[in-house]
Amino acid sequence: MEWVALLLFATVIVVLLAGFPVAFTLGGTSLIFAGIGVATGAFNDAFLSSLPNRVFGIMTNETLVAVPLFVFMGVTLERARIAEELLETLSHLFGSLRGGLGISVTLVGMLLAASTGIVGATVVTMGLLSLPTMLARGYAPGISAGTICASGTLGQIIPPSIILVMLGDVMTTAYQQAQIKMGVFSPKTVSVGDLFAGALIPGLLLVFLYIAYLVIAAMIKPSLMPAHERTEEDAVGFGQIVAALFPPLALIFAVLGSILAGVATPTEAAGVGGMGALLLATVRRQLTLDRLREIMRSTMSISSMVFLILIGASIFSLVFRGYGGDDAVHSLLESLPGGVVGAVIVVMLVMFLLGFVLDFIEITFVVVPIVGPVLLAMGLDPVWLGIMIAINLQTSFLTPPFGFALFYLRGVAPKSVRTIDIYKGVMPFVGIQLLALLLLAIFPGLITWLPGKIYGG
């Protein structure tokens, strides 16, 4: 009945494209297929009996508690207008250089990624604050839009990242399943801390590649990013730089440093981050009772969406497995030419294409549990595979026509910036993402070296 499992997967994608809510599409479509299977005798309803245990496991999973806490931290920092001060300071600092404003936007995106990790909020904030300035200074609409979208998606890979928390939970389960299939009955685990450490160098590599592209583009075609003549108003002192950079950097080091040093778990560090964000917003006098209500509502909305999708994905994976879908995927990947290399290339290509139509949360909770155990059973390093998947999912935010970062920017961009300008502007950055994936595939030590040094793995 493997063909029914593939039909289920295809039906879910079609229903999602029709615009139905993700969580209810995953759960509802799967239950319909299961009901038809039970009625015809093609599906064993015993698979569904484990659903309550799965939901209870989600409710009691300490790792996933970090998700709402990191969301709370990100939303609070976004409301504290930390991006506005960072952009203003760095644009004064680098603005006189050709392409300097683009470099400033990229660096602010990096800092926001490490302190908020919410792609939508980052892209919208950067679009509102920096896009009008870039256009006013003569920057081409395409390069402006591309820089904002790409730098806004850095929150996907630079820790502490929400996607890495979710991937860490999924990869732990997949790695345990893979080891049990290989006859290892005291399986090792991969932690969120491992993924955070593994993502640090690749994240900084992406920032370096973005800036290198902007510098080279400014040199080859100066009209794309003209230099800005410095005035007295653009003068920025050392005190201003410290005042703008110190608070977010201190929070980043407190959260990420405590995880990498082994002082705190990701969940505990997320609690520290949430408290630190509240203190920062209070010190900046940006925290009112109404704003706190907005922060709580936004956190609840985003967190509820994530956990509902996770429950829907659990139902989907049970039904998919009940129809033998995981065995079909296992056989397919093992029969591909090129062995493990061929399997990785095919999986990465499928995830890249699915990124055109599916959200990163859906891919994480639906696709990774299916292909993860198979690939890990072939001997792949779980941290390497997790970071490769994370960067691939980050690319999905930029791929036209359905990249979410493009929609976020389109919603706040002026009418003078055409949709085609946004699409053209992000294409070089999509190429950079693919180049980064290639480099990490050729040099896996860029991912595995730091976790090995920190955790001795």
Contact between 165 and 71 (Cβ < 8 Å): no
Tell me which residue range forms the domain holding 167.
2-455
d(CA 117, CA 217): 28
Max CA pair span of the chain:
79
Cα distance between residue 48 and residue 46, in whole Å? 5
Quick one: what percent of the chain has pLDDT higher than 90? Answer: 14
Q: What is the pLDDT of residue 17?
A: 73
The Cα 135–Cα 300 span in angstroms is 36
- Regions of the chain short of the pLDDT cut 70: 1, 95-96, 116-118, 121, 185-187, 228-236, 357, 401-402, 456-457
Total of domains in the chain? 1
CA distance 219 to 212: 11
Q: State the pLDDT at residue 208.
A: 95
Task: Give the number of C-alpha atoms closer than 13 A to the C-alpha of residue 56, restricted to the C-beta side.
Answer: 5
pLDDT at 95: 64
Q: What is the pLDDT of residue 146?
A: 92
pLDDT at residue 58, as a whole number:
79
How many residues are given for the chain? 457
Cα 319 to Cα 43: distance, rounded to the nearest angstrom: 8
Q: How far apart are CA 49 and CA 397, in angstroms?
A: 36
Distance (Å) of CA 51 to CA 22, 44, 57, 327: 18, 13, 10, 20
User: Using CA atoms, how far apart are residues 329 and 54, in angstroms rounded to an integer?
Assistant: 22
Within 8 A by CB and 6+ apart from 220, the residues are none
What does the DSSP assignment read for 55-124?
Answer: HHHHHT-TGGGHHHHHHHHHHHHHHTTHHHHHHHHHHHHHTTSTTHHHHHHHHHHHHHHHHT--HHHHHH
